Amino acid sequence: MNSINTNDSKSGNRPIILSGIQPTGGLHIGNLFGAIKNWVAMQDEYQCYFTIVDLHSITVRQIPAELRKSSLDLAAMLIACGIDTDKSVLFVQSHVPEHAQLAWVLNCYTGMGELSRMTQFKDKSAEHYENVNAGLFTYPVLMASDILLYQADLVPVGEDQKQHLELTRDIAQRFNHNYSDTFKIPEPYIPKTGARIMSLQEPTKKMSKSDGNSKATIFLTDSDEEIKNKIKRAVTDSGELLTEEDYVEFLADEKLPYNFSQKRPGLANLITLYQVSTNIGLEGIVEKISGIGFGDIKSIVAEAMAEHLNPIRTRYNEIRKDENKLKEILSAGAEKAQAVAFKTLRKVYKKVGFYSL
Ligand code: TRP
């Protein structure tokens, strides 16, 4: 049918990963250090599909011109962060119609009861009570379609998406059982590393793009000045500096997020920011910040973060400027994705009994 071969000798039999990200709001450092860095690191070991899920975004009202622009912004930023479109398939969900087509079929294999148990639906319908549309309800079925079309082995998911992945597995198993093996049953992928970045204004809450307080979130498009200002104004606990006891406890924690963050959330977040932007080990960090005040700690962290984000932003501006090139990249991505998605959908249509011409 066509000459695209996503299973070339380079991709070989690598396990398949699929992940999706909504093109609304900008990416922030929580996304970068929590998810995207992991995506970047997986690209050699896995055949990765990354999709910009614009179909999902319209479950909440969007301004069309903004949504249109955000999809390109996000694509450019993902590439700037290190998504390599020679290795991975990067595409916009609405460019591959099979997502919506499979979602319709899977809707007919999903229970109303199952969907009403989704905690994200309950949360979102409370939040957007003025627009509780059917799309919001069937959102997880579209997500299942994203995953199952590519026969993904693994899906990197955060805590908030685990339930949707469970549902995806249930739907896939049900379909396979009703007909015959059609879908690979995907597993959650829990990355080895991945930092949990907290709000700069309320360090017990995760950093979020929809935070009402713009000082709480560092966006990847923020200027050096903005980054530094936000970090300098970060909320820290009023307690005194790290005590000897804190150090011992802190160093005993091997992994981000530190248990330590329960006791000193603001300070722990600053330390996390420093760690992720420099890759210095904990001991090195303690050495750097021991005996200095919060003001100085913030300056060091602010400097390091600005330095880390600067080249990403420069690359982003470069890539975003050349819209034609970007469109070519997305068009090639959609073509590669569709070649795979088409095969799965064709099988599904056949199994459910659609007469094909
Ligand atoms: N629902 C996910 C979120 O809000 C985004 C998403 C859509 C996704 N399709 C996906 C994530 C498929 C992983 C796999 O974050």
The residue extents of the domains of the chain are 9-194+323-352, 214-318
For residue range 266-276, what is the model confidence (pLDDT) as tens digits?
888 898 899 89
146 lines ligand 1 (CB under 6 A): yes
**Helix and strand totals (H; E) in the chain:** 16, 5
Residue 353: pLDDT above 70?
yes
H-run or E-run covering 48:
strand 47-52
For residue 195, the model assigns a pLDDT of: 78
Active site residues: 124, 206, 209
- Measured distance CA(224)–CA(150) in Å, rounded: 39
Same fold, 9-194+323-352 and 214-318: no
- Measured distance CA(117)–CA(121) in Å, rounded: 8
Atom of ligand 1 nearest to the CA of 157: 13
* Better-scored residue on pLDDT, 238 or 2: 238
Name the one residue in this structure whose structure tokens are 């006891």.
245
124 lines ligand 1 (CB under 6 A): no
Among the ranges given (112-121, 192-201, 221-230), the one the predictor scored with the smallest mean pLDDT: 192-201
Q: Which amino acid is located at 183 in the chain?
A: F
Atom of ligand 1 nearest to the CA of 142: 9
154 lines ligand 1 (CB under 6 A): no
For residue 212, the model assigns a pLDDT of: 81
Ligand 1 pocket, mutate which of 16, 49, 53, 167 (most atoms under 8 A from CB): 53
Torsion of CA 133, 135, 136, 140, to 10 degrees: 160
For residue 308, the model assigns a pLDDT of: 98
Cα(47) to ligand 1 centroid in Å equals 17
56 lines ligand 1 (CB under 6 A): yes
H-run or E-run covering 316:
helix 294-321
For residue range 229-263, what is the model confidence (pLDDT) as tens digits?
999 999 987 665 666 666 666 666 555 445 566 67
For residue 242, the model assigns a pLDDT of: 64
Q: Which strands make up the sheet holding 187-189, listed edge to edge?
A: 89-92, 47-52, 16-21, 154-156, 187-189
For residue 5, the model assigns a pLDDT of: 43
71 lines ligand 1 (CB under 6 A): no
For residue 202, the model assigns a pLDDT of: 92
- Measured distance CA(323)–CA(306) in Å, rounded: 26
- Measured distance CA(30)–CA(21) in Å, rounded: 13
149 lines ligand 1 (CB under 6 A): no
Per the CB < 8 A criterion, the answer to whether 164 and 103 are in contact is no
In angstroms, how far is CA 94 from the centroid of its own chain? 18
- Please report which confidence band the pLDDT of residue 6 belongs to, taking 50, 70 and 90 as the band edges: very low
Q: Which CATH superfamily is domain 9-194+323-352 in?
A: HUPs (3.40.50.620)
**3-class SS at 21?**
strand
* Cβ burial 306-318 (10 Å sphere, 16+ → b, else e): bebbeebbebbee
Cα(200) to ligand 1 centroid in Å equals 25
For residue 8, the model assigns a pLDDT of: 45
What value does the mean pLDDT take over residues 331-337? 98
Q: Looking at domain 214-318, which CATH architecture does it have?
A: Orthogonal Bundle (1.10)
Per the CB < 8 A criterion, the answer to whether 100 and 59 are in contact is no
Cα(20) to ligand 1 centroid in Å equals 4
